Structure 1
Amino acid sequence: MNNYSIDPILIPVPESFESSRLHIRAARWGDGPAVNEAVRESADELSPWMPWAQRIPTVEESEVSIRKSRLQFLERSDIRLLLFHKSTGQLIGSSGLHRIDWQVRKFEIGYWAHTSYTGQGYITEAVNAITDFAIQELQANRLEIRCDSRNTQSSRVAERTGFTLEGILRNDKTDVQGNLRDTMIYSKVRGIEY
């Protein structure tokens, strides 16, 4: 049986890994309160871009979201990763590998940061580490970062981490207010960028 025909639930996916400043790990039951606090404190910065940040969730809703993410991790249908500062243990933000196609070995990297930690290179560091993780541990053939064309902070992360802008899908989605928006697609592809 080749590596591409294995049922994804059988694919070994490490629970955690590290970068120079971050401990990056799969979501676990009990992470809801820390995520809730980060979302509450960062709502103004998250709400223009994240549909899920239009309303501040309760602690219980955040825990439900974490538990669902844990189940998705075990099923290998989505890999939500939380970013913790190695020395302080503080939650820096969230990232992960989403919209997974195991046959192609294609993953989309998403990310957001707690407002207190933006502008310090943590997300760039996390994206680099998650990219390496996806390539080395999951044999990624294609990695994508997609963002609203107006989200310059997100597009700068993609550029700083060596992703190539493949194109802009015009009127591809609606933004959080329901207006049409363009989506920038960045990628790294095996055999070209690594």
Structure 2
Amino acid sequence: MSLSGLNPILMTIPESFESARLLIRAPLFGDGAAVNEAVIESIEELRPWMPWANNIPTIEESEIHIRNSRLKFLDRTDLQLLLFHKETGQLIGSSGLHRMDWQARSFETGYWVRTSYAGQGYISEAVEAITNFAIHQLEANRIEIRCDSRNKKSAAVAERSGFTLEGILRSEKCATDGSLRDTMIFAKVRGVEY
């Protein structure tokens, strides 16, 4: 059955799926402590790119974020996904589908990885799995990755994952340091890349 025209709140969306090394799932109440631990470990690497990483969160703040993310997942306004290592059960990062246009079936994916798991291909693996999830479960027509043009690692993930650089928006947003940044827009589009 096609999802076209179906109100997103009525959609049955799987809460979890797997890749070779990862369990990728929706946030659950109680995940705040694991997220907090990963953010604290990774704060210096996150700070240049993620506005929310300017201040180290408390466990309570992380749990509030997780609970809000859970509610957004349920009402289909944002689909945050947590990345867990299948063998160890450790939270290694976060991703998801954001800025959703359900009518056009257009989604944006973003990501961050825990410092101790960086450079091992986990984010590329997660992006591939989440892209396939969006295509097959949500009938995505377009999936975007947007990143600061100075964030070479994030851009490399997009390129490795087969996303096409569509353009660069010059002086489009303020970076975490307040300076203007250029935003690179990568995308996969139904009928072109898949």
TM-score, structure 2 as length reference:
0.98
Provide the residue aligned with 1:69 in structure 2. 69
* Cα distance in structure 2, aligned partners of 1:144 and 1:11: 22
User: For 1:103-122, what aligned pairs fall within 5 Å after superposition?
Assistant: 103-122=103-122
Q: Does 1:123 align with 2:123?
A: yes
* Cα distance in structure 1, aligned partners of 2:181 and 2:172: 6
* Cα distance in structure 1, aligned partners of 2:28 and 2:167: 36
Q: Report deviation, 1:11.
A: 1.2
* Cα distance in structure 2, aligned partners of 1:120 and 1:131: 19
User: For 1:66-105, what aligned pairs fall within 5 Å after superposition?
Assistant: 66-105=66-105
The alignment partner of 2:111 has SS state of strand
Q: Report deviation, 1:177.
A: 1.2
Structure 2: gaps of 5 or more residues: none
TM-aligned CA distance change 1:64 to 1:93, over 3 Å: same
Name the aligned partner's letter for residue 100 of structure 1: M
Counting aligned pairs with the same residue, the percent is 69
Q: Report deviation, 1:3.
A: 3.0
* Cα distance in structure 2, aligned partners of 1:117 and 1:2: 38
Provide the residue aligned with 2:166 in structure 1. 166
* Cα distance in structure 2, aligned partners of 1:12 and 1:177: 40
Runs of 4 or more, structure 1, over 3 Å off, are: none
Name the aligned partner's letter for residue 83 of structure 1: L
* Cα distance in structure 2, aligned partners of 1:90 and 1:15: 18
* Cα distance in structure 2, aligned partners of 1:70 and 1:11: 16
Deviations 1:86-141 (A, max 9, x none): 01001110000000000000010000000000000000000000000000000000
- Given that 2:141 and 2:189 are in contact with CA atoms closer than 8 Å, whether structure 1 keeps it comes out as yes
Q: Report deviation, 1:5.
A: 1.9
* Cα distance in structure 2, aligned partners of 1:101 and 1:170: 24
* Cα distance in structure 1, aligned partners of 2:146 and 2:178: 18
- Given that 2:80 and 2:95 are in contact with CA atoms closer than 8 Å, whether structure 1 keeps it comes out as yes
* Cα distance in structure 1, aligned partners of 2:60 and 2:2: 42
Provide the residue aligned with 1:146 in structure 2. 146
User: For 1:155-194, what aligned pairs fall within 5 Å after superposition?
Assistant: 155-194=155-194
* Cα distance in structure 1, aligned partners of 2:188 and 2:60: 37
Q: Report deviation, 1:55.
A: 0.3
The alignment partner of 1:165 has SS state of strand
The alignment partner of 2:52 has SS state of helix
Count, aligned residues: 194
